[in-house]
């Protein structure tokens, strides 16, 4: 009951407040700049929608996972980023506008890509089922609007009306973001405590490799195409921080298979660990 209250009510509310704080650091030009110079957004989208599922698929084969674990790995590999990726990007001093844009675009795109990827995975790995994979479209749209778009828009309006106040709040909101991140991590561990041992024993290594590989690919492709460090940070985070909540819903509700959520749980733990390392490393840099 307490864990449900924390994950379903308090944390989304806290994330919304943090997004409002992010909005106070943004101006419309931050978003129009992305449309004028779309290279960073394109690289981020390709990494998440194409390369992440491919890497997940190859790792499932390389580690010789059984059908259930392989499909579970593909579920998290096919999932979009979530509000947590925006939070981590903020603490890492990355390009928040780019992070928010990628989260929104990829979340909408995966409504189409996830059914295709998972239908292929179920067929390939031998867990074929006649279940029709349909994502909760309305819930996805509402989550994007309520937790991300509306609070950020309000924050931007506050910055426009009260620029001095917005500037003054930047440091306290960054501190609050760090506290919220720690609370989310505790909530994830608490909610998945009974699965944690099995998850790490069965797929701990492969999910860690997936997380590090996708983040590394995100950073390397960004630098290869000569993106600045802020954009590179955003793409790195978006490439490796997935919407674990949506992935668990897919495994347990849509596919009706609790075991398939085991790789999701393991990956969720690892992404908070690597996310913490990124926040520590980039957050203390003075050149950002």
Determine the pLDDT at residue 109: 86
Is the confidence at residue 155, as pLDDT, over 60? yes
DSSP one-letter code for 125: T
Determine the pLDDT at residue 258: 80
Axis crossing angle, helix 193-224 with helix 262-283, rounded to the nearest 10: 50
Distance CA 226, CA 38 (A): 13
Mean pLDDT of 217-245: 93
Axis crossing angle, helix 163-191 with helix 262-283, rounded to the nearest 10: 140
Residue 256 falls in which region: left (phi positive, over 0), alpha (psi -120 to 50) or beta? left
Report pTM. 0.82
Cβ atoms of 238 and 103 within 8 Å: the answer is yes
Q: How crowded is residue 217: how many other Cβ atoms within 10 Å of its Cβ?
A: 18
Distance CA 21, CA 7 (A): 20
What does the pLDDT look like over 229-241, one tens digit per residue?
Answer: 999 999 999 999 9
Cβ atoms of 181 and 87 within 8 Å: the answer is yes
* Residue 227 host element (H or E): none
The domains found in the chain, sorted by start residue, are 2-281 (1.20.1530.20)
Mean pLDDT of 37-60: 94
* Residue 267 host element (H or E): helix 262-283
More confidently predicted of 228 and 110: 228
Q: How crowded is residue 248: how many other Cβ atoms within 10 Å of its Cβ?
A: 22
Reported as a pLDDT band with limits 50, 70 and 90, residue 4 is low
Is the confidence at residue 135, as pLDDT, over 70? no
Mean pLDDT of 59-70: 93
- Residue 38 CA to its chain's centroid (Å): 20
- 213-222 long-range CB contacts below 8 Å, 24 or more apart? 213/55, 213/59, 214/47, 214/51, 214/52, 214/55, 214/239, 214/240, 215/239, 215/240, 215/274, 215/278, 217/47, 217/51, 217/55, 218/44, 218/47, 221/43, 221/47, 222/40, 222/43
**Cα first-last separation, the chain:** 41
Is the confidence at residue 222, as pLDDT, over 90? yes
């Amino acid at each position: 009951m307490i864990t449900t209250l924390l994950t379903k009510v308090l944390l989304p509310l806290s994330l919304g407040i943090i997004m409002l704080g992010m909005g106070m650091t943004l101006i419309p030009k931050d978003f129009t700049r992305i449309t004028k110079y779309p290279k960073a957004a394109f690289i981020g989208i390709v990494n998440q929608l194409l390369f992440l599922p491919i890497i997940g698929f190859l790792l499932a084969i390389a580690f010789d996972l059984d059908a259930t674990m392989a499909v579970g790995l593909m579920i998290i590999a096919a999932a979009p980023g979530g509000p947590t990726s925006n939070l981590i990007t903020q603490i890492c001093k990355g390009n928040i506008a780019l992070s928010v844009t990628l989260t929104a675009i990829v979340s909408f795109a995966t409504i189409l890509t996830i059914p295709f990827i998972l239908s292929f995975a179920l067929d390939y790995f031998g867990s074929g089922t006649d279940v029709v994979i349909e994502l909760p479209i309305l819930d996805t749209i509402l989550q994007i609007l309520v937790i991300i778009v509306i609070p950020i828009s309000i924050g931007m309006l506050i910055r426009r009306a009260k620029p001095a106040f917005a500037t003054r709040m930047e440091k306290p909101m960054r501190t609050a973001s760090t506290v919220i991140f720690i609370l989310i991590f505790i909530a994830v561990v608490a909610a998945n405590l009974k699965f944690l041992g099995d998850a790490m024993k069965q797929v701990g290594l492969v999910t860690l490799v997936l997380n590090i590989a996708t983040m590394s690919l995100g950073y390397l492709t960004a630098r290869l195409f000569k993106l600045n460090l802020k954009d590179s940070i955003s793409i790195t985070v978006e490439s490796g921080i997935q919407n674990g909540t949506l992935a668990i819903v897919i495994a347990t509700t849509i596919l009706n298979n609790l075991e398939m959520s085991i790789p999701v749980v393991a990956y969720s733990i690892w992404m908070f660990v690597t996310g913490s390392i990124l926040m520590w490393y980039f957050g203390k840099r003075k050149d950002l």
